[in-house]
Structure 1
Amino acid sequence: SGEGIEGTMKSVEPSDAAISMYYGSKVIIVPGYGLAVAQAQHKLYEFVKLLQKNGVDVSFAIHPVAGRMPGHMNVLLAEAGVPYDIIHDLEDINEEFAQADAAIVIGANDVVNPAARTNKSSPIYGMPILNVDMAQQAYVVKRGQGKGYSGVENELFYADNTQMVYGDAQKVMVQMIEAVKSLG
């Protein structure tokens, strides 16, 4: 486990996470730099369209510092053809996480760390975060168990309602697409 963090990281297969989201009613996606590195935005949007076809309400939540420059995630999503009306800034969507069946974090770390809200000794304390921890279920797509840019262990990864989906974002998205398509 992490530095004084209670709980353990639990992993789940991409197919199981995908099927769970496919049968949900509301899913919020949090893209981060790892999505850009894997160049997975097109596969992500293909997955989103499959969820929408099944009636799932899908939204994107963009943190102002996600990526390597302001607007980085917006550019990536626009490049993939994601309609602008399902892309929301932090202040416009943060309240909705509590009503989400699932939130999926793809390559983001510090911008979803509850320590920013709860741990006064954390160097990221006070930074606005996306409230992923308030979703019924959180899935975190990540290549490994490393820390984010700040070097702070992420409390979200150890939460009871969080499961880690390990792997390169593009490969994970391909597996999620295949799992949903296999349902017929």
Structure 2
Amino acid sequence: DAPVSGGEAGAIEGMLSIMVGGEPADFEAAKPVLEAVGKTIVLVGPSGSGQTVKAANQLIVAANIQALSEAVVFLEAYGVDTDVAIKVLGGGLAGSKVLDQKAQKILDREFAPGFRLALHNKDMGIVTSAAREAGVVMPLGALVAQLVTSTVASGDGALDHSGLFRGVQRLAGKIDVPVPA
């Protein structure tokens, strides 16, 4: 198995992260093909391990987008200059690739799909199901999975996963962008 992270842009630029599960010899044989689309290509364990690492990736990404969305709604409620706030947050410990790649989309209310919420919802189902199967408690993961599901159920499944912001807006009673047709 060889799931990827990096979205459409990463695929186009050949910059995907690829989490490979399998035998070392098979990994080495496949590596030249994977190098055509990936930059970070790592054998993470036996077959199936790639999917497990991908699930962990999706958990981290969803939790970060949810936190970023909540932070923007919070900042806007206080009338803070969000462009400046995001810049300073990005320079501190809150800085992340999620902040770098998704904050401006949220500020601009531009949710054209890169990675669709409906797909992230599917992935969060994989995470929560696998956690249950392994007997692992993931209270934040379960909550974020429900928030993703809620946003999809509200009609935003075709939007980029930064569209989680719209779910936060709904919960705060501050929705300002109509659902796209």
Query: Aligning the two structures, in what range does the TM-score lie when normalised by the shorter sequence?
Result: under 0.3
Which structure features the higher share of strand residues? 1
Higher helix content, 1 or 2 = 2
Under a length normalisation based on structure 2, what TM-score does the superposition of the two structures give? 0.25
Q: Highest relative contact order (Cα 8 Å, sep 6+), 1 or 2?
A: 1
